[in-house]
């Protein structure tokens, strides 16, 4: 699949386990996975980070074959889901980092352009999440690029 703001194709991707059933070497109960995921969410970890901690520290290769639900579904049931979707939150954090850089280095025109591209992605993604009903209709991201020019 091509990138949004560049004319190249990425080759990096993950290789998921081939089987949809839990492996025989895991002896973790679904209740343990759910309670651990909720505990990690209360500590402030994101859903993808929770999956990585479960994989690395608790020998859970994938949550869905064991529990029948994804990490996000578990967090929604436990009322510990983040307010913003993780990909949108990551883009907003990235824009904040570029904004703080531009406050110190005002003449960095390349990063002004990069902030424009990041904010375009934020607008596009927030529009999708509003249409899908995940974000409230009155969600608004305040642009900083217009203030920089």
Instruction: Indicate whether 73 and 45 sit together in one domain.
Output: yes
pLDDT for 32: 95
1-58 pLDDT tens trace: 567 777 778 777 778 777 788 888 888 999 999 999 999 999 999 999 999 999 999 9
Report the CATH number that the domain containing residue 98 is assigned in CATH.
Answer: 1.10.287.10
Q: Give the chain's domain count.
A: 2
Instruction: Indicate whether 104 and 143 sit together in one domain.
Output: yes
Is residue 16 domain-resident? no
CA atoms within 13 A on the CB side of 97: 8
Instruction: Indicate whether 108 and 56 sit together in one domain.
Output: no
Instruction: Indicate whether 104 and 137 sit together in one domain.
Output: yes
pLDDT for 133: 93
DSSP letters, 52-100, are HHHHHHH--S-HHHHHSS-HHHHHHHTT---SS-HHHHHHHHHHHHHHH
Q: Write out the residue range of the structural domain in which residue 44 sits.
A: 30-77
Instruction: Indicate whether 94 and 139 sit together in one domain.
Output: yes
Residue 145 banded pLDDT, cuts 50, 70, 90: low
């Amino acid at each position: 699949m091509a990138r949004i703001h560049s004319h190249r194709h990425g080759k990096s991707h993950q290789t998921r386990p081939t089987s949809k059933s839990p492996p025989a070497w895991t002896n973790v109960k679904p209740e343990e996975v759910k309670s651990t995921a909720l505990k990690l969410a209360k500590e402030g970890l994101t859903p993808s980070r929770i999956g990585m901690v479960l994989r690395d520290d608790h020998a859970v290769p994938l949550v869905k074959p064991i529990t029948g639900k994804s990490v996000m579904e578990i967090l929604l049931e436990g009322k510990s889901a983040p307010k913003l979707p993780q990909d949108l939150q990551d883009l907003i954090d990235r824009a904040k980092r570029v904004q703080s850089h531009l406050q110190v280095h005002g003449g960095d025109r390349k990063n002004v352009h990069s902030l424009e591209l990041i904010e375009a992605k934020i607008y596009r993604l927030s529009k999708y999440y509003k249409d899908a009903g995940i974000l409230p209709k009155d969600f608004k991201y305040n642009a900083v690029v217009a203030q920089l020019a």
